[in-house]
Structure 1
């Protein structure tokens, strides 16, 4: 495991002539500044606070460290149910917590398509709030995944519903030909492909209803609606 910043690895200047298997930029924020931690199983690097879950401490340079993207999620999913992680109330079991963290990290690592959906639209965009009544963003989902957050998810269904809400809001507010709409569609298709592998019961499998006016602008495809009205 390497920890480095701005061309420096383990306190030693790197040789530009040598092949470096690791990427230059944090996989989440695409910034190379400050200290980044290199995964020992893939080329990705992460800032301590960018990785999901955030790293409690920078690993020792002699430790072997792998990012959550390299974790064998099937082993986690196939494991027996576990008790909820420590939180202020009833929360996700450890297995669901890990699956949700993996799904969210995968979305963040789709850097360009996810950029529009990381932060809540600012209140100064009054037109947005006249149309969208329940704003949602990846950063909010990440906060609610923290076991100590007062709004920590109680079920994996709640987590997936918030992710769906991000895409639904994008479809409602943005024209179909817009880049935001297309990025939402691409990112949701990617999200569904992950659900098919790890949580198939929550992947798309039902035709989107046309009786709800707020859904008219959504792309024509099949998916499982778990949003609460």
Structure 2
């Protein structure tokens, strides 16, 4: 490979940083928008052989264009909705929006709690990467199970951490999640 080839950017119109983590590296460029992603950062698995390839932001835009624009839902009906293709795509998109939130990095990996703390206080430990695995692995039967786990991540952090700045992060993530949840699932 020559020096010129090494500098060639096959997608010059796309971003050179990942939308989710903000880092550069080996990125997959959407063929419909300027967004780029690391394979592990994009929630919906990337099919390397698919050409053209569309990111989850563009896929969800296509799904939403086919939905009734005047339809609004009650949260209670959304939570009991089965995890069909459209709802799963919406959940993946919602999780991608949460991963893209700049302050979400604290909630991504398994948190460190002492065993005693966990047994005494928490019903169940939860973190965003575990939710991602559960969502991709078809562990959720309905939207409510997915939403309950996101809310559990936030509640666990509010309970376990006494540091005001960490608790504030949980409140900020909660606000971000609830706003996107209502928008994506068209909740009135």
Are 1:41 and 1:70, in contact at CA under 8 Å, matched by a contact in 2?
A: yes
1:28 correspondence with 2:16: no
**1:163-182 maps to which residues of 2 (within 5 A)?**
163-175=150-162, 177-178=164-165, 180-182=166-168
Aligned to 2:103: 113
CA distance in 1, matches of 2:181, 2:58: 17
Aligned to 1:13: 7
**Higher Cα radius of gyration:** 1
Deviation at 1:22, TM superposition (A): 2.9
Are 1:120 and 1:136, in contact at CA under 8 Å, matched by a contact in 2?
A: yes
- Structure with more relative contact order (C-alpha pairs < 8 Å, separation 6 or more): 2
TM-score (norm 1): 0.63
Aligned to 2:128: 138
Aligned length: 169
1:159/1:56 CA distance change after superposition, 3 Å:
same
Are 1:37 and 1:46, in contact at CA under 8 Å, matched by a contact in 2?
A: yes
CA distance in 1, matches of 2:117, 2:186: 33
Q: Which structure 1 residue ranges, 5 or more long, are not aligned?
A: 1-7, 79-90, 204-229
- Deviation per CA, 1:157-182: give whole Å up to 9, x if none: 1000000101111111223622x222
1:49/1:77 CA distance change after superposition, 3 Å:
farther
Are 1:113 and 1:184, in contact at CA under 8 Å, matched by a contact in 2?
A: no
Deviation at 1:12, TM superposition (A): 5.0
Aligned to 1:69: 57
1:64/1:183 CA distance change after superposition, 3 Å:
same
Are 1:48 and 1:58, in contact at CA under 8 Å, matched by a contact in 2?
A: no
TM-score (norm 2): 0.75
CA distance in 2, matches of 1:181, 1:50: 25
Are 2:94 and 2:184, in contact at CA under 8 Å, matched by a contact in 1?
A: no
1:64/1:199 CA distance change after superposition, 3 Å:
same
Larger relative helix fraction: 2
Match of 1:183 among 164, 169, 173: 169
2:103 is paired with a residue of what secondary structure? helix
Are 1:170 and 1:184, in contact at CA under 8 Å, matched by a contact in 2?
A: yes
1:21/1:188 CA distance change after superposition, 3 Å:
farther
Give the CA RMSD over aligned residues. Answer: 2.9
Deviation at 1:32, TM superposition (A): 2.0
Q: Which structure 2 residue ranges, 5 or more long, are not aligned?
A: 69-81
